[in-house]
């Protein structure tokens, strides 16, 4: 084990001690985070009522009876959306038309309503106004409550205060059609009657002030206090209160401590609701991630794929509200009604078997691991590993060491002071990730110089040891990233770690530079100028172009926001790996990084020199990907650990196969 200890010299003992302190602080953060992730395991299954009602009526199903069957299958919540002006009259309880339409209609047919007919005859109809004829008492009360929130008092007039009520709204019809008129009371009462939690969906109006925002919440809670999660919608894609009254919206949430804010998961930063991140920051420990599949996409995928995506979102991305839309196709011999029941049951059963509970969604709360002192101690691991690396390369200096610690502390304290600690923590975590990746590459220096064993079993044990050594050091870098970055906002992807792609891109380049310019890797050039001035053969040029292209593709494909879709074969392989292993390992680890680590010490020195640069790149990819796995902070630590372990096992198998093939080649026996 002494050959793995590369950085221990007497002059850096203080850095070694502070590094251990920083790692212990990071480990404490990880411990607290694992515990809070295990507790925040209650998930809501919410069905969109508007879409469900449309499907039920299309197939002549009873919506209430269908909801009872869905509740028995595992449905917990009913998502009810504000009625838009364009949809008035869809339930037969009201009718909306313009004054101009009334005047034109009167020219060809008598108007049945006596008051409207009188207004037309006496020319008191305002052609540019909207007239609402309401026959339902609850609907009338809702309109009387909501209309003054969006229109000035003088714009809304009750022309007949008895059934059927008649309301005049002086506004343009296009604006009226896009205006939200509150959530229909009967939908809230239906959810209450069936024992379902209510997920209200509100649309923002930039003119709303504190009183109007409070009225939104009060109107729903008056009918049913079992409101669980509020999710916003609208053509403007804004949260309630945007842009000037987000604090008022946050205060309205705080008046109702059991109501969560639902942050909709997106794969494109441009689709994030305006004001979403600011509102989440104003509501610490009250934000839950919401996953939905658009109706247009549901028509293109299979039912099993949809179920798998919902479950994967909960298990691997901290999704706590699964927003379901009805399945509009038959699955085999099942009716559309039975298919939807089966969909909910499949999601519910898989979540329960995975240790999750169904009910009111539990957000990630403020927890001990986000303590500023603990995070600050974890951050000290970064300048410590930097100093040890300087010492290893012979560049150590006390002034540089002092500056490294001072800069880290100053950056962290300044970030906290100006309320931009997320940016400061990201910079520190990125530096730590790259420094530990470099340390992981240096651990393999003896493997670049040792002779392979004649025994395959002995060589496999050696290769596996080197793979575990490099992965272990890289995992320390991942631990520091976890220790520095694991805030509740980062775990719900409100605050994003912007350095993820650099963690993937830079370690392969660092590995190539180390291999090229450091003699200890066994194939270094004496002078850098010799490398840059040496002739390039055609095959080397084409190989370099191919590697650059593959690297660019790897970066484009990374993350959830990739514009390059995986192939059908890759999707099938992902599905098989997930089904067999529960947590799918990453291809960059078990197909590239780990096999390269295994093959490196098994090669004869001449062969090692020929493809050494390629091995260096592959090992850099694997080391960076190990740290990157833990950099996706919305993924629970337990899942990331299982992903690495599965990758190591499969990578060792792939590496063993490659070693076996290599040793059977005639050139390996020379």
pLDDT, tens digit, for every residue of 339-361? 999 999 999 999 999 999 999 99
Full-model pTM: 0.88
Task: Give percent of the chain with pLDDT exceeding 70.
Answer: 91
Q: Please, what's the b/e burial string for 465-504 (b: 16 or more CB within 10 A of its CB; e: otherwise)?
A: ebbebbbebbbbbbbbbbbbbbbbbbbbbbbbbebbbbbb
Angle between helix 612-631 and helix 456-485 axes, rounded to 10 deg: 40
pLDDT tens readout for residues 619-638: 999 999 999 999 999 999 99
Angle between helix 185-193 and helix 63-73 axes, rounded to 10 deg: 40
Q: How far is CA 395 from CA 441, 497, 517, in A?
A: 18, 30, 16
DSSP 485: H
> What is the dihedral sign for C-alpha 70, 71, 76, 80?
positive
Whether residue 525 has pLDDT greater than 70: no
Domain coordinates in residue numbering, the chain: 42-82+184-358, 87-177, 419-669
Whether residue 4 has pLDDT greater than 50: no
Closest C-alpha among 360, 279, 277, 349 to residue 310 = 349
**245 or 8: whose pLDDT is higher?**
245
**6 or 572: whose pLDDT is higher?**
572
Measured between its terminal Cα atoms, the distance across the chain in Å is: 31
Distance separating alpha carbons of residues 192 and 367, to the nearest angstrom: 33
CA atoms within 13 A on the CB side of 660: 7
pLDDT at 1: 36
Mean pLDDT of 316-324: 96
Whether residue 3 has pLDDT greater than 50: no
Mean pLDDT of 277-290: 94
Mean pLDDT of 465-485: 97
pLDDT at 615: 93
Q: ω before 243 within 30° of 0 (cis)?
A: yes
Whether residue 557 has pLDDT greater than 70: no
> Pairing state of beta strands 287-292 and 165-169?
unpaired
Whether residue 546 has pLDDT greater than 90: no
Q: Which helix (H) or strand (E) holds 133?
A: strand 130-134
Average pLDDT, the chain: 90
**310 or 547: whose pLDDT is higher?**
310
Mean pLDDT of 93-118: 92
pLDDT at 2: 38
Q: Are 461 and 614 in contact (CB under 8 A)?
A: no
Whether residue 549 has pLDDT greater than 90: no
pLDDT at 11: 86
Report the top-level CATH class of 42-82+184-358. Answer: alpha beta
pLDDT at 653: 97
pLDDT tens readout for residues 140-172: 999 998 999 899 889 999 999 999 999 999 999
Task: Determine the distance from the C-alpha atom of residue 75 to the mean position of all C-alpha atoms in its chain, rounded to a whole number.
Answer: 23
Mean pLDDT of 218-222: 82
Angle at 276 between CA 274 and CA 281, to 5 degrees: 140
pLDDT at 332: 85
Closest C-alpha among 200, 161, 155, 204 to residue 180 = 204
pLDDT tens readout for residues 400-454: 999 999 999 999 999 999 988 899 999 999 999 999 999 999 999 999 999 999 9
Confidence of residue 293 (pLDDT cuts 50, 70, 90): very high
Confidence of residue 483 (pLDDT cuts 50, 70, 90): very high
With a CB cutoff of 8 Å and minimum separation 6, the contacts of 377 are 21, 22, 25
Mean pLDDT of 32-46: 96
Distance separating alpha carbons of residues 37 and 265, to the nearest angstrom: 18
């Amino acid at each position: 084990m002494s050959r793995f200890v590369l950085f221990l010299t007497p002059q850096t003992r203080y850095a070694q001690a502070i590094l251990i302190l920083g790692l212990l602080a990071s480990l404490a953060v990880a411990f607290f985070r694992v515990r809070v992730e295990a507790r925040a395991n209650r998930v809501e299954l919410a069905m969109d009522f508007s879409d469900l009602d449309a499907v039920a009526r299309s197939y002549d199903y009873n919506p209430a009876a269908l909801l009872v069957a869905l509740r028995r299958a595992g449905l917990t919540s009913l998502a009810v959306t504000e009625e838009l002006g364009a949809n008035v009259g869809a339930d037969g309880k009201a009718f909306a038309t313009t004054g101009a339409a009334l005047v034109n209609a009167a020219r060809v047919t008598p108007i049945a309503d006596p008051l409207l007919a009188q207004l037309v005859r006496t020319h008191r109809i305002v052609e540019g106004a909207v007239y609402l004829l309401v026959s339902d008492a609850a609907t009338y009360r809702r309109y009387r409550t909501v209309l003054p929130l969006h229109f000035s008092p003088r714009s809304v007039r009750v022309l007949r205060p008895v059934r059927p009520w008649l309301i005049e709204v002086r506004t343009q019809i296009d604006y009226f059609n896009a205006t939200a008129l509150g959530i229909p009371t009967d939908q809230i009462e239906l959810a209450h009657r069936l024992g379902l939690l209510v997920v209200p969906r509100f649309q923002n109006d930039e003119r709303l002030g504190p009183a109007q925002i409070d009225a939104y919440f009060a109107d729903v809670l008056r009918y049913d206090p079992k409101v669980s999660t509020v999710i916003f919608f609208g053509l403007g894609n804004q949260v309630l209160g945007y842009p000037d009254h987000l604090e008022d919206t946050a205060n309205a949430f705080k008046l109702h401590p059991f109501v969560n804010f639902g942050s909709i998961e997106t794969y494109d930063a441009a689709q994030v609701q305006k004001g979403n991140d600011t509102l989440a920051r104003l509501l610490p420990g009250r934000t839950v991630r919401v996953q939905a599949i658009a109706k247009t996409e549901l028509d293109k995928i299979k039912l099993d794929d949809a179920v798998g995506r919902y479950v994967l979102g909960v298990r691997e991305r901290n999704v706590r509200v699964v927003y379901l839309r009805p399945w509009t196709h038959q699955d085999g011999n099942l009716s559309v009604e039975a298919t939807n029941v089966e969909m909910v049951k499949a999601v519910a059963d898989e979540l329960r078997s995975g240790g999750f509970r169904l009910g009111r969604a539990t957000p990630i709360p403020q927890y001990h691991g986000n303590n500023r002192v603990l995070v600050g101690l974890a951050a000290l691991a970064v300048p410590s590993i930097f100093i040890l690396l300087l010492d290893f390369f012979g560049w150590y200096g006390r002034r540089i060491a002092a500056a490294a610690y001072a800069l880290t502390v100053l950056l962290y304290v300044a970030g906290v002071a100006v309320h931009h600690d997320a940016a400061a923590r990201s910079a520190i975590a990125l530096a730590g990730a790259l420094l530990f990746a470099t340390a992981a590459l240096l651990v393999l220096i003896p493997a670049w110089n040792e002779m392979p064993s004649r025994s395959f079993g002995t060589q496999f044990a050696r290769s596996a040891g080197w793979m575990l050594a490099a992965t272990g050091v890289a995992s320390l870098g991942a631990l520091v990233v976890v220790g520095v970055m694991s805030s509740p906002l980062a775990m719900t992807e409100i605050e994003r770690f912007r350095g993820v792609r650099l963690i993937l891109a830079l370690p392969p380049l660092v590995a190539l530079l180390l291999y090229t310019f450091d003699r200890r890797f066994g194939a270094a050039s004496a002078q850098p100028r010799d490398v840059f001035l040496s002739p390039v053969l055609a095959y080397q040029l084409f190989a370099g172009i191919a590697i650059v292209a593959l690297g660019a593709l790897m970066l484009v494909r990374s993350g959830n926001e990739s514009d390059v879709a995986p192939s059908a074969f890759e999707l099938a392989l992902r599905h098989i790996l997930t089904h067999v292993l529960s947590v799918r390992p990453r291809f960059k680890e078990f197909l590239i990084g780990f096999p390269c680590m295994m093959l490196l010490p098994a090669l004869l020195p001449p062969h090692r020199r020929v493809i050494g640069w390629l091995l260096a790149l592959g090992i850099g990819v694997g080391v960076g990907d190990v740290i990157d796995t833990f950099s996706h902070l919305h993924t629970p630590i337990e899942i990331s650990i299982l992903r690495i372990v599965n990758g190591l096992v499969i990578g060792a198998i792939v590496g063993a196969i490659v070693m076996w093939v290599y040793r059977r080649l005639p050139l390996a026996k020379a």
